[in-house]
A = this chain, B = another copy of it.
Amino acid sequence: MTGKLYAIGTGPGASDLITVRAARLLAHMDIVYAPAARKGGDSLALSIVREYIGSQTEIKERHFPMSNNTEEKQQAWQAVTDEIVSDITAGKKVAFVSLGDVMLYSTWVSILERLPDGLDIEIIPGITSFALIAAKTKRPLAMETQSLVVMSCTVGKEILAQALQQHSSLVLMKAASCLPDVKALIEELGLLDYAVLVSDASLTSEKQYRNLKDIPADEKLPYFTTILVNKQWSKS
């Protein structure tokens, strides 16, 4: 008997936004790994999928440091990878769950790049936060000859400005950390009517701003904050 690893995207937050395939698979796992941002903290990804997990399943919440300490991160990722490999080698059916889609800005890729060749791996895609935000705000991502860029604040102001000028639509992930800069840029380009901001989409803490100018100066926006700009769609 050989084990198998399933990487499962949980989608943005609501439990019923996972795929039917993911829900069915989770009922039959031996072990489910879930990343937690804080040591001893609860895993958001786990809370999303908990209702689908079978009663026979062992749950392993593992801490993934969000720090800028590269060595600490590498060690944490390697330790989880080793543990997963050992479980699969022992013949277990193992799932690793992660928010949104596992192939886009996801902890899963830090595991994937460390896995040895020859393991049986299946990846189940998930709904991205920006697909949900487009749906909630009724603002298309792209049509016909339009193009869409997806990036996070970490690219820096210049690349962000260039992307806003060259493409019809922009999705900016983790937007809280550069909000003053990006707000100024969007206003400068005359795009305030074309931008929306959503935090924690489909979680109980969800917040929406249809106009970036309505965000109070002292507002502390959470980590999962996304801005969507579609330069050809101001109707809301």
The stretch that binds B, out of A35-43, A59-67, A123-131, is A123-131
- A76 at interface by CB-CB < 8 Å: no
Q: Which residue in B128, B140, B143, B155 is a CB contact (below 8 Å) of A145?
A: B155
A14 at the interface (CB under 8 A from B): yes
Render A125-167 as a binary contact track against B, CB cut-off 8 A, 1 for contact: 1111001101110111111111111111011000100110011
Task: Indicate how many identical chains form the complex.
Answer: 2
Which size class do A's interface residues fall under?
35 or more
A182 lies within 8 A of chain B by Cβ = no
From B20, B142, B167, give the contact of A20 (CB < 8 A): B20
Name 20 interchain pairs, CB-CB below 8 A, sorted by A. A9-B131, A14-B21, A15-B20, A16-B20, A19-B127, A104-B142, A104-B148, A105-B143, A112-B138, A124-B135, A125-B128, A125-B134, A125-B135, A128-B131, A145-B152, A147-B155, A148-B149, A148-B151, A150-B150, A162-B166
